[in-house]
Structure 1
Amino acid sequence: MKKNSIFNYTLENLEIFLEKNNFKKFSAKQIFNWLYVKNILDFDLMTNLSKELKTFLKENFEINELNLLVSEESNDGTIKLLFMLDDKKTIETVLMPQKYGQSVCVTTQVGCKMSCTFCASGLIKTERNLETYEMVLQILTINKILKDKYIDDPDNPKARVSHIVVMGIGEPFDNFKNVWDFVNIVNNGNGYKIGARHITISTCGVVPKIIDFANLNSQVNLAISLHAPNNEIRNKLMPINKAYPIEKLIDAVKYYVNKTNRRITFEYILIEGINDSEQNAIELAKLVKGINGYVNLIPYNEVEENPFKRSTKISQFFQVLKKLNVNAILRKEFGIDINAACGQLRAKREGILKNEI
């Protein structure tokens, strides 16, 4: 029988499991400390655990790893990784060095069913949700890479992951429970201790789950992949809009902001001739008016199989928003030279993009 991964367990769930099997609850914190603070990935080396507990852990859990297939490093320091999972499926993870720390873009599904017309992730349909451990291992693996990179300076803040954006392949709110367990593990004070305000979850607009997320009343950030100022354009770009049109999405966003008192991010990819006109900017300004949030303008990463092109009017669009008193920023681009668009590396590996690796 296949053993469960120890990385599937939140601290609370591990405490419950240990108590049910007549072990002390506090041992869960010790195990978390070994795994996530001391980076010890062998139960036998966890010296403050009893012999009986070590035997029990080895009988019930495995400490697994991701199989790294491809690692590409950009001129700007961005590292894109392609992993193979136990069932031979592949996923991507991206490390993006920032001025404020090391940020990792985490994948939550194998493929994506949202079928956004501009996105490389949608070229391969959803095959399954990732388990919690498969998300945790993305962080663990990159922490290993950073530890090796800064082996002569282990106390350097750059030697560990400090920020997480759950914006990789897949729709996080389609995998709500596993994603939330992942957040609880990496945020836990006995584990990686990545602050809730340093974690952002992005959604295409799964309205019921936005409400559920708001009701958790956490400090984790929420980003909305908006990409259009009206239903006509958004219907063409994002099929989810037909189920949850902009009006319902904005109502859910307002509920989230009022419930949590947290600022929200509107992600807006600028595509030539589709959503980048002055009128589009004016519509967008009206749409987000009065909402505690900001617009993150993103240059489009072109995908050969899609007809869309990067906007040539990014600066003009930005200026219109600023004149209309919209809080907006231009996102810094990462890894332009290494298949930067989400899903590109995996799609090439699967032979779906023309120029296969």
Structure 2
Amino acid sequence: MPVPSSLALPKPLAADGKPSLIGLDVQGLAACLESLGEPERQRDLRARQLFHWIYHRGAASFEIMSTLPQALRARLADAYSVARPEIVAEQRSSDGTWKWLLRFADGQEVEAVFIPEEDRGALCVSTQVGCTLTCKFCHTGTMPLVRNLGAPEITAQMLVARDALREWPTAIEGRLFTNIVVMGMGEPLFNYDNLVDSMRLAMDEQGLGLSRRRITVSTSGVVPRIDQLGADLGVGLAISLHAVRDDLRDELVPINRKWKIAELLDACRRYPTRRRITFEYVMLKGVNDSDADARELVRLLEGIPAKVNLIPFNPWPGAPFECSSNNRIHAFAAIVEAAGYASPVRTPRGRDILAACGQLKTESQRLRRRLSAAAA
């Protein structure tokens, strides 16, 4: 299912209105230097220096890039930007979770969430403004899809988190930002090329320096792209499953109407990873939480190195579901674990700031509609 061409992103602009260098690799930076007239004999060195300053040192201005000649810094500042997106709102949960509402140059907004643990932490990254999937239990799914994020906009979320945590340069000891989970707003595999470009920057040892084993991409089941993801990145894979029967999954996760459960699980069996594939399963009271559902889940996972993350449903205003009881969740988990599959119950994080799984949704569209109506 291709992404409509209307969602193609023009060359992204930074918050200051200039084309952004964030999201470019060394070759892309060299091309920008060529446009500024940088001599060919120096271009590769200068591109690698730029790359180092942007992704290893976290420079948010050209002025501090001291290894570049002053004249080149001035030309870069006139033509390009390394500015971050505007942080419209920053919230801290009582459990330490951080959420940022980020606004890009065209006024569109997304949310990114950092979830700290005792000695590590994961950044939950968004890949689209809105979402096309309309999953019934997900607040983000109630937003219309506006557009894809470009690689600069996906990458910028990582830089914002590093800025907030003061974890520059990349090699700093004891850093908390250790993992990326691509589980924010949008379906990552419907924005495939930008996803791959940004994750390659994240994994570059000379840049953000995150191991591929510390990156997990979640999909609701874009089957043709799963094989490609394994070949191109080989990162961890998570599947938003949430139901064990096609009739129910058709309703909860509508993409199932195109690629059924059996086809999805066959793609998982082919996925080239030594890590277990994570199956995400939101627990909905009286909907998908019976002992029979648990036994069918075990049957479906046969032959797949897997673990199952059971996610207590995180409510949001107007949600049509309730969370399964604690006893029901643990009874479900016991059946799955008895079959040899780890089945941890995910502890909700950031619920008090609507930062938990399935709760992300920007208010920008509704606010603009209210302002337009008031003006009219």
* 1:316 and 2:331 are equivalent in the alignment: yes
Quick one: which of 157, 176, 180 aligns to 2:196? 180
Quick one: which of 298, 303, 309 aligns to 1:285? 298
**Separation (CA, whole Å) in 1 of partners of 2:276 and 2:191:** 23
Which one is further off, 61-70 or 13-22? 13-22
TM-score between both structures, scaled by the size of structure 1:
0.89
Quick one: which of 276, 281, 289 aligns to 1:263? 276
Could you tell me whether the CA contact under 8 Å between 2:277 and 2:305 is conserved in 1?
yes
Cα distance per residue 1:201-253 (max 9 Å; x no partner): 1111001111111222x341111111111211111101100000111101111
Could you tell me whether the CA contact under 8 Å between 2:86 and 2:104 is conserved in 1?
yes
Quick one: which of 255, 274, 284 aligns to 1:240? 255
* 1:221 and 2:236 are equivalent in the alignment: yes
Aligned residue number for residue 307 of structure 2 = 294
Aligned residue number for residue 164 of structure 2 = 145
Could you tell me whether the CA contact under 8 Å between 2:130 and 2:147 is conserved in 1?
yes
**Separation (CA, whole Å) in 2 of partners of 1:208 and 1:255:** 12
TM-score between both structures, scaled by the size of structure 2:
0.85
Q: Label 1:97 to 1:4 Cα distance change in 2 as closer, same or farther (>3 A).
A: same
1:19 Cα deviation from its structure 2 partner: 6.4
1:27 Cα deviation from its structure 2 partner: 2.3
Q: Could you say what secondary structure the match of 1:275 adopts? A: coil
Note the 1:114-153 alignment, pairs <5 A. Answer: 114-147=133-166
Could you tell me whether the CA contact under 8 Å between 1:90 and 1:346 is conserved in 2?
no
**Separation (CA, whole Å) in 2 of partners of 1:100 and 1:289:** 34
Q: Label 1:275 to 1:299 Cα distance change in 2 as closer, same or farther (>3 A).
A: same
Aligned residue number for residue 96 of structure 2 = 77
Could you tell me whether the CA contact under 8 Å between 1:270 and 1:299 is conserved in 2?
yes
Cα distance per residue 1:254-310 (max 9 Å; x no partner): 111xx3444211111111111100000000000011201211111110122221111
Segments of 5+ residues of structure 1 without an aligned counterpart are 353-357
Q: Label 1:245 to 1:105 Cα distance change in 2 as closer, same or farther (>3 A).
A: same
**Separation (CA, whole Å) in 2 of partners of 1:281 and 1:14:** 51
Could you tell me whether the CA contact under 8 Å between 1:84 and 1:90 is conserved in 2?
yes
Aligned residue number for residue 37 of structure 1 = 56
Quick one: which of 201, 221, 232 aligns to 2:217? 201
User: How much identity, in percent, do the aligned residues show?
Assistant: 35
**Separation (CA, whole Å) in 1 of partners of 2:365 and 2:65:** 40
**Separation (CA, whole Å) in 2 of partners of 1:350 and 1:309:** 27
Could you tell me whether the CA contact under 8 Å between 2:278 and 2:307 is conserved in 1?
yes
**Separation (CA, whole Å) in 1 of partners of 2:227 and 2:356:** 29
Could you tell me whether the CA contact under 8 Å between 1:265 and 1:295 is conserved in 2?
yes
Could you tell me whether the CA contact under 8 Å between 2:314 and 2:348 is conserved in 1?
no
Cα distance per residue 1:118-155 (max 9 Å; x no partner): 1000111110001111111111112111119x9xxx95
Cα RMSD, aligned residues only:
2.3
Quick one: which of 136, 150, 170 aligns to 2:186? 170
Q: Could you say what secondary structure the match of 1:35 adopts? A: helix
1:326 Cα deviation from its structure 2 partner: 2.1
Aligned residue number for residue 340 of structure 1 = 355
Segments of 5+ residues of structure 2 without an aligned counterpart are 1-12, 368-376
Q: Could you say what secondary structure the match of 1:294 adopts? A: strand
Which one is further off, 318-327 or 10-19? 10-19
Q: Could you say what secondary structure the match of 1:247 adopts? A: helix
**Separation (CA, whole Å) in 1 of partners of 2:261 and 2:359:** 28
Q: Could you say what secondary structure the match of 2:185 adopts? A: coil
Q: Could you say what secondary structure the match of 1:190 adopts? A: coil
Q: Label 1:323 to 1:343 Cα distance change in 2 as closer, same or farther (>3 A).
A: closer
Could you tell me whether the CA contact under 8 Å between 1:18 and 1:25 is conserved in 2?
no
Counterpart of 2:287 in structure 1: which amino acid? I
Aligned residue number for residue 11 of structure 1 = 26
**Number of residue pairs matched?**
344
1:8 Cα deviation from its structure 2 partner: 2.3
Q: Could you say what secondary structure the match of 2:267 adopts? A: helix
Q: Label 1:327 to 1:264 Cα distance change in 2 as closer, same or farther (>3 A).
A: same
* 1:91 and 2:107 are equivalent in the alignment: no
Quick one: which of 169, 174, 181 aligns to 1:157? 174
Q: Could you say what secondary structure the match of 1:72 adopts? A: strand
Aligned residue number for residue 211 of structure 1 = 227
1:346 Cα deviation from its structure 2 partner: 3.3
**Separation (CA, whole Å) in 1 of partners of 2:165 and 2:335:** 40
Q: Could you say what secondary structure the match of 2:308 adopts? A: strand
* 1:46 and 2:74 are equivalent in the alignment: no
